[in-house]
Amino acid sequence: MFQFRSVLALPQAYELFHYLIGAPARSRALVESYIQSKPGDRILEIGCGPGSIVPYLPESEYVGFDASPTYIKRAQRRFPKLKFVCQRVSQYSLPQQSYFDVALALGIVHHLDDVEALQLFQIARDALKPGGKLVTMDGVWTKGQSAFTRYLLSRDRGQFVRSEEGYAQIAERVFDKVRSSIRHDLLRIPYTHIILECVR
C-alpha cells in the first residue's frame, strides 16, 4: 500500500486514478451544489494539488497553493494564466485579507492534524470577504459504513480522517455558520464524503 501511496504522489497517476474512480462527476457535483461560484469570483484553493477542480469552475480570479512542488509544476503547466504557489498550510501568508469570495479545501483537511486543520480554517476565514464561503470535502467515518468503505478510508494517504463531529468542531472554532453534508454517492467506489460549507 505504501508503494501505491507513493505512485499517487505523481500528478499523472493521481489524475488517472481520480478519473477511474469517477472524480470528474464528483467535481461537477461539488461546483453545482456546494461551491456555486459565479464568473468573476475570486477563489482561493488551499491544497490545490494539480488543479483538478479548475476545469469545472467558471472563469475566475483563482489562486491555488499546495505543499507538493510536483503538483504545483503540473498545475502551472496546465493553467499558465492562473496563480499557483508551493507552500504548506502552516507557512502560507495571505497576500490580502478579506479579498476572496470563495475558499476551497478539497480533500485536504484529513491530511492535517488538529493544529494545522485549525490554521487552515483560520487562513480561509481571513481570506474571505464578509459573506464569503469556505467549502471543504473529505472522507469521513460514519455509523453503518460497510467494511469495504471503512477499509478504503483507513488506507487513505490522509492520516486524520475524522467523524462528522470531529470536522465540525474544528470548523466551528473559527466560523459561526457551518453546515455539513454527508454523501455516499460521489464516486464509483464505495466511499463516504463530508462537505462543509462555512460562511464568514
| 91-125 pLDDT, tens digit each | 677 777 899 999 999 999 999 999 999 999 999 99
Residue pair 183/192 in contact by the 8 Å Cβ criterion: yes
Q: Using one digit for the tens of pLDDT, what is the confidence trace for 148-186?
A: 999 999 988 889 999 999 999 999 999 999 999 999 999
What pTM was estimated for this model as a whole? 0.89
Burial of 6 (0-12, 13-18, 19+ CB in 10 A): exposed
Domain housing 94: 2-199
Residue 112's CATH number: 3.40.50.150
Contact between residue 70 and residue 84 where contact means Cβ atoms under 8 Å apart:
no
C-alpha–C-alpha distance, residues 197 and 7, integer Å: 31
Our count of domains for the chain comes to 1
Strands (DSSP E) found in 24-170:
42-46, 61-66, 83-86, 100-106, 128-141, 162-163
The C-alpha cell 475524522 sits at 162
Closest CA to 34 of 186, 188, 170, 160: 186
